[in-house]
Structures are given as structure tokens and as C-alpha cells.
Amino acid sequence: MLRFAFVRILSAIPTLLLVVVLAFLMVHAAPGGPFDDERVLPPENARNLQAAYHLDESLPRQFGRYLSGVMRGDLGPSYHYRDYRVSELIGAALPLSLMLGLLAMSLALVVGISAGVVAALKRNTMLDRVISGLAMSGISIPVFVVAPLLVLVFALQLRWLPASFSGGAGGWRFLLPVVALSLPQIAYVTRLMRASMIEALSSDFVRTARAQGLSTLSIVRYHAMKPAMLPVVSYLGPAIAAVLTSAVVVETIFGIPGLGQLFVRGGLNRDYTLVLGIVIFYAALVIVLNLLVDLLYGFLDPRIRHR
């Protein structure tokens, strides 16, 4: 297990480095500098500005400077929000996004696993068809369609919930964003859980348990649940990446001042360092969480770590 963990952690480092290099090169290959759209400066001021942001240095030197900053947790100054470091902006926006993401993931796991198990147990009945059909629709309808439709129905027509995050107070304002964020993930988890539970229920050890006269409930709980969970665990990695991406949309629609909104604003303002910093932060987050999921998987499934 230790060897497996060690190898896995070591292989995450080059991936992370690759992201930093690719993202950095992409931004620096972009036509035009970050200050091009402003009024024309006297050449001396322009030179000073370039020097202040180290844009007059050679590319390798700039990269070296940036990389050493990244390793110390400093993502450089923001070009748009002049008095702030990118790391400060990310730090300020992160807690809200983190909370939103955690709530959405928990909801997706609880609802998705329950629905999947029910569908598997009631396989080929009307209930199963309804659940599977809903799950298929959930996968197909993108979050930027679901979120505005939820607002249209529950906030603008029925007026049950606030339409925007800042327009409400208390916990209720989290409800629509979290539901919008988790619906596609609920659908994915349901489908995975249904398929793997059906497979687990048709395996030999479940047949043995059934022959011993165990009730369906305890067969599911004590025998089928653990192997059936494995595909869901391995889906956690992609799910986290998907939630991060969807959060960009959901935060924009509901006006939540989180990381996703910061990202979109940075993109529209052409704030290169901010966007670069957030991309690297997201990438690091996805890679680290994927690593944790892999370790968890290795812990749950001995076949993986002894390979």
C-alpha cells in the first residue's frame, strides 16, 4: 500500500508541472500585452510598467520567477485588481465556492446512491424505468440550462426562493445553486450505482447469502454495497472536476462571489495573471483530489494496490 501511494504521489508531480508550463506558455504566446488596451503611455512610463511586472525579462527567466512563486504559493500580481495578489483574490473567494461544492457533492452522493440502489433492486419495473429515464435526462441537460430554468420556475414564477444569491439571506439562498450544481452529478451517480449494484447482486457471494436466508436489506447492506460502491468512488475524481467547471456557470447565474465568478470576470477583463493563477489552482486541486480518490480506491480494493 505504501509503495502504491508513493508511486502515485510521485506521478502527480510531472502532471502538475505540465499544467503550469502549458498554461504559462499559452498566456505568454497570446498576441498583445496585458496593458495594450489602455491609453497610450509615454515610452518611459510603458518601460517602467513593463519592468515593474518583469515583462522586460526573457521568457525562461519570467517562467523561473513565476514557478518559484507558485511553489511558495504566490501566483503573482493581478493585472486588473491592481493592489491585490492573485493568491489573495483566490483566498477570499475560495470558502464560498468550497462550501457550495461540498454541499453539491454530498447531495449528489446521497440521492444518487439511494436512487441507484432502488432502481437496481426494482430492476425492469416501472420505477426503475422512471429513475433511469430521469437520470438520462439529467446527464443530457447541461447545468447552464438547468440553473436558469430553476430560477425561472422557483424564483420568478412561484417566488418561493430568491433569484440571486445576494438577494436573499440565510441558508435558503444556497438551495437553488446547490440543486442546480448537483443534478447532473446525481444523474451520473445513479446510473453508475444502478449498473454496479445489478452486477453485485448477480454475483456468487450474493447468491450464497440469499441461500442462507438473509433478507434483501441486509444482503445489500453487508454484502453488495461495498463492491458496488467502487465505480462510484472512481467516479469521484471526474465528478469533482465537473462540479468545479459547473460552479463557474452556477456562480455567474446566481451572482455568487466565489472562485468561478472571479474566473469569468478575469477572462472578460483579460486579466492574464488572474486567469492563469486560477487555472493552475483548479488544476492542482483536481490533481490532488484525484490522487486522494486513487489512494482511497487502493485502500478499498486490494486488487489495485497489489497489481
Partner 1 sequence: MNAWFALAGAGAFRHLHGGAAIRVSTGILLIIAAAALLGPMLSPHDYFDTDFEQRLKPPTLDEGRLFGTDDLGRDLFVRTLSGTRITLLVAVVASFVSLAIGVAYGAIAGYAGGKIDAFMMRIVDALYALPFIFLVILLMVAFERNVLLIFVAIGAINWLDMARIVRGQTLSLKHREFVDAARLIGVPPVVIVFRHIVPNLLGVVVVYVTLTIPQAILVESFLSFLGLGVQEPQTSLGALVNDGVSQMERAPWMLLIPATLLAAVLMSFNFLGDGLRDALDPRQRRR
Positions touching partner 1 (CB under 8 A) are 11-12, 14-15, 18-19, 22-23, 26-27, 29-31, 136-137, 139-142, 144-145, 148-149, 151-152, 156, 195, 198-199, 241, 244-245, 248-249, 252-253, 263-264, 266-268, 270, 272, 275-276, 278-279, 282-283, 286-287, 290
Shortest distance, position 301 Cβ to partner 1, whole Å: 18
Q: Do 49 and 41 touch, CB atoms closer than 8 A?
A: yes
Q: Of 113 and 243, which CB lies nearer to partner 1 in the complex structure?
A: 243
Shortest distance, position 192 Cβ to partner 1, whole Å: 11
| CA angle (176 as vertex; 130, 191 as ends), nearest 5 | 30
Look up residue 41 and give its DSSP letter. Answer: P
Shortest distance, position 61 Cβ to partner 1, whole Å: 20
Shortest distance, position 151 Cβ to partner 1, whole Å: 7
CA distance 268 to 131: 40
Helix (H, G, I), strand (E, B) or coil at 85: strand
CA distance 182 to 103: 9
Q: Of 255 and 302, which CB lies nearer to partner 1 in the complex structure?
A: 255
Shortest distance, position 28 Cβ to partner 1, whole Å: 9
Q: Residue 248: is it exposed, middle or buried by C-beta count within 10 angstroms (0-12/13-18/19+)?
A: buried
Q: Of 141 and 225, which CB lies nearer to partner 1 in the complex structure?
A: 141
Q: Of 99 and 152, which CB lies nearer to partner 1 in the complex structure?
A: 152
The owner of cell 446525481 is: 186
Shortest distance, position 9 Cβ to partner 1, whole Å: 13
Give the cell for residue 193.
Answer: 450505482
Q: Of 115 and 283, which CB lies nearer to partner 1 in the complex structure?
A: 283
112, amino acid identity: G
Q: Do 105 and 185 touch, CB atoms closer than 8 A?
A: yes
Q: Of 235 and 282, which CB lies nearer to partner 1 in the complex structure?
A: 282
Q: Of 191 and 218, which CB lies nearer to partner 1 in the complex structure?
A: 191
Q: How many helices (H) and strands (E) does the chain have?
A: 13, 0
Shortest distance, position 5 Cβ to partner 1, whole Å: 16
Backbone dihedral region for residue 135 (phi beyond 0: left; psi -120 to 50: alpha; all else: beta): alpha
The owner of cell 438547468 is: 146
The owner of cell 488596451 is: 37
